[in-house]
């Protein structure tokens, strides 16, 4: 079974093709083909990159329309040096990452008119993502015809959280309006939790796992018995941990104060989502690598940004452990989580009282690794998140 996976964003698209003819393996294989579109650098032009059959291409196309860009990208599957298929009819299914499924969708689902209408209706909850996700679905319908398409929702893994964990302590009218904690990064959290269980050789149903997705966007999840019972992101991806350019949780009174100083809703949106976090505090960058380089050169703002990131990470890790009622495994994933031994050390240091001890000699690795000391009671794993593979597996399971 050949499954095309598409992650359609507002200004970039990423896609890959998996061959699952042997079934869904536990470890992610290399895709047959991978491609990306990027509209961010040149006006009314798109940068297309693709790799397949041992070859790669990079092109700049005079294309502003997203559907036309997707058609050009998909064409590299069957034409040119990256050709891996004789015909597009060889594609058996398409899996889409869809950011918001609301309360309706707690599992992956085959896409039909009703599902598309729901994705459209949920745009106010994910205005930067759901429109692009829907556009990608409709574009591939036009390109591939009646090939089955599957929506894999980023919120679905958290949809079974207890009501007490999902509810905000505002007026009950919020509950009735659907204002609740939905959580995000669910595809990643679900994948790394299952991968962690496989690595430690235990049934996920018996484990209490803390998953730490730390990238430009950051979130934690408390996974108990294979189910997310708590997470740090909430009604929007702005809640929770300090991130690359997002503030994470702040006192809502700050926003009331700023509004009385004349800030508009759009200005607050820009401030909290684009000008805060590591970027805002350090004055340097939203990239942890740049922040740590500046910190090591004596930059006081960069030091404050790093220290604040670690403090808030530790505090929320403690909250997730309390929700779990114990801890068997902690997992680090995503850009920072997979590549920063300094963050691993700093994040885990306060939890030695739980029996969590890391190896003294830590380094990045291409493979998933156990970074806990041999005598550690809690295992600590670094796992490369494989969201595209998880989407392909969800398609296979559903279809």
Question: Exactly one of 154, 239, 316, 328 is catalytic; which is it?
Answer: 154
Q: Is the dihedral of CA 98, 101, 107, 110 positive or negative?
A: negative
154 is catalytic: yes
Provide DSSP, 141-168: HHHHTT--EEEEETTGGGTTS-HHHH--
Angle between helices 288-296 and 300-324 (to 10 degrees): 130
CA–CA distance, 175 with 140 (Å, rounded to integer)? 36
CA–CA distance, 45 with 22 (Å, rounded to integer)? 39
CA–CA distance, 237 with 81 (Å, rounded to integer)? 39
CB 240 within 8 A of CB 218: yes
Task: Return phi, psi of residue 383, to 5°.
Answer: -125, 130
Helix (H, G, I), strand (E, B) or coil at 30: coil
CA–CA distance, 238 with 274 (Å, rounded to integer)? 10
Q: Look up residue 216 and give its two tokens.
A: 């430009």
CB 182 within 8 A of CB 234: yes
CA–CA distance, 185 with 194 (Å, rounded to integer)? 15
Strands (E), the chain: 2-8, 12-19, 33-38, 46-52, 55-61, 93-98, 109-110, 149-153, 208-214, 218-224, 227-231, 329-333, 369-370, 379-382
CA–CA distance, 22 with 43 (Å, rounded to integer)? 43
Active site residues: 154
């Amino acid at each position: 079974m050949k499954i095309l996976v598409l992650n359609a964003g507002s200004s970039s698209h990423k896609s890959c093709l998996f061959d699952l003819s042997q079934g869904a393996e536990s470890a992610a294989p290399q895709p047959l083909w991978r491609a990306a579109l990027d509209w961010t650098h040149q006006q009314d032009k798109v940068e297309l990159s693709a790799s397949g059959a041992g070859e790669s291409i990079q092109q700049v196309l005079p294309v502003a329309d997203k559907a036309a860009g997707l058609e050009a990208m998909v064409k590299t599957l069957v034409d040119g040096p990256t050709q891996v298929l004789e015909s597009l009819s060889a594609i058996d299914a398409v899996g889409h990452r869809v950011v918001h499924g609301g309360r309706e969708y707690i599992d992956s689902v085959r896409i039909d008119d009703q599902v598309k209408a729901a994705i459209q209706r949920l745009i106010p909850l994910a205005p930067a993502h759901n429109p692009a996700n829907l556009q990608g679905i409709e574009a591939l319908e036009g390109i591939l015809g009646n090939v089955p398409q599957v929506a894999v929702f980023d919120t679905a893994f958290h949809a079974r959280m207890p009501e007490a964990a999902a509810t905000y302590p505002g007026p009950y009218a919020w509950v009735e309006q659907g204002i609740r904690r939905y959580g995000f990064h669910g595809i990643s959290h679900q994948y790394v939790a299952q991968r962690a269980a496989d690595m430690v050789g235990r049934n996920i149903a018996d484990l209490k796992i803390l998953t730490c997705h730390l990238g430009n966007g950051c979130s934690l999840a408390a996974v108990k018995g294979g189910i997310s019972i708590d997470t740090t992101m909430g009604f929007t991806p702005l809640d929770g941990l300090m991130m690359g350019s997002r503030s994470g949780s702040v006192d809502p009174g700050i926003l009331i104060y700023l509004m009385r100083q004349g800030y508009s809703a759009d200005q607050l949106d820009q401030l909290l989502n684009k000008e805060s976090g590591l970027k805002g505090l350090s004055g340097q960058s939203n990239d942890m690598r740049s922040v740590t380089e500046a910190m090591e050169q004596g930059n006081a703002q960069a030091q404050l940004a790093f220290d604040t990131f670690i403090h808030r990470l530790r505090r929320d890790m403690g909250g997730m452990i309390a929700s779990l009622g114990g801890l068997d495994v902690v997992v680090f994933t995503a850009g920072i989580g997979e590549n920063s031994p300094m963050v691993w050390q700093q994040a885990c240091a306060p939890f030695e009282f739980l029996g969590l001890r890391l190896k003294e000699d830590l380094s990045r690795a291409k493979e998933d690794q156990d970074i806990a000391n041999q005598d550690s009671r809690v295992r600590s794993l670094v796992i490369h998140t494989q969201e595209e593979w998880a989407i392909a597996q969800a398609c296979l399971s559903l279809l």
